[in-house]
Amino acid sequence: MVIIVLSLVSLLVGFLVGITGVGGILIPPALILFSGQETHMAIGTALASFLPVAAVGTVMYRRLGHINWYKALPYMAGSLAAWPGALVNTLMPAAPLVVMLACIVMFAGLCALRPPKPGRGSAFWQSGKGFFCIGAITALLAGLTGAGGPVVSIPWMIIAGVSPMTAVGLAMPYQVTTALFGTIGNVADGHVDFTMLPYICLMAFIGLFAGIAVTKRIPTEVLRKLIGGLCCGLGLFLLLRQLLS
């Protein structure tokens, strides 16, 4: 029964990632609730599951022409911060991590829901240095919380004036490196469940293919609102769950 529930959640996560680049944050609470995993183990397992899914997503979005490597490479370089984030994760209690992540995700979602109004600072955030900073800050959070950096970096890029489809496309190779370096730290501390990992990845793959097929037909404005609304909902869910537990 546990495997069935986790498979359905992973299917949904893959679908949401394919459409919006966001959704992996659902995996840690699902592992905690349905398999009884300790929080740090659930976070590490979730982050590890993002690696193969994002690799396939990178290939698919590249074929669609939504990955500019001039922007993607500095963004990916910032993902090195996921490694120290994962190491710090082991030294912190779980509750503050969940609350911190929930607040950040809700804030990012609310910002993404506002119509993008690029200001004087938007040029910096769309430059190589800006993408590196976005990558480093969100990767650190990814290593700390197990949430893929895109849950924060995608709305951040949208706020800076990057189109939603481009933001989602850039998030795919970034997710690969974030998950890789974050997982290295988690494996070293024994915080990855390799028995659950294959089931999560397999169903997420199926959902990913379906999501990318659907996203080709979604208007840009609808996609932006979908990303913002999903981030707000996920953040509120995490915050309420933590406060009521």
Average pLDDT (112-140) is 76
pLDDT at 149 over 80: no
- In sequence order, which residues have a C-beta less than 8 Å from that of residue 219 and are 6 or more positions away? none
pLDDT at residue 145 greater than cutoff 70: no
Supply 58's token pair.
């990178």
* Highest mean predicted confidence (pLDDT) among 20-34, 81-95, 167-181, 231-245: 167-181
Which pLDDT score is estimated for 132?
92
Is residue 213 within 8 Å of 14, Cβ to Cβ? no
- What per-residue confidence (pLDDT) applies to 55? 92
pLDDT digits (tens, 9 = 90+) for 14-33: 888 888 887 777 787 788 77
What sign has the CA pseudo-torsion 6, 198, 41, 98? negative
Helix (H), strand (E) at residue 240: helix 220-244
Distance between CA atoms of residues 15 and 24, nearest Å: 10
Dihedral sign from CA coordinates of 180, 94, 90, 193: negative
pLDDT band for position 11 (cuts 50, 70, 90): very high
For the record, the structure tokens of 154 come out as 């995608």
51's enclosing H/E stretch is helix 39-63
- CA dist 127 → 9, 47, 73 (Å): 36, 27, 11
Distance, first Cα to last Cα, the chain: 23
Decide: 159 and 112 in contact? Cβ < 8 Å.
yes
**Residue 96's pLDDT band (cuts 50, 70, 90):** confident
Tokens of 11: 């299917």
Mean pLDDT of the chain: 81
Q: What is the pLDDT of residues 168-209, one digit of tens each?
A: 889 899 888 878 877 887 788 788 888 888 889 999 999 999
pLDDT at position 74: 92
Residue whose structure tokens are 């999501």? 211
Question: In this predicted model, what pLDDT tens digit does every residue of 21-75 receive, in sequence order?
Answer: 877 777 877 887 777 888 778 888 888 888 899 899 999 889 888 888 888 899 8
Mean pLDDT of the region 136-153: 74
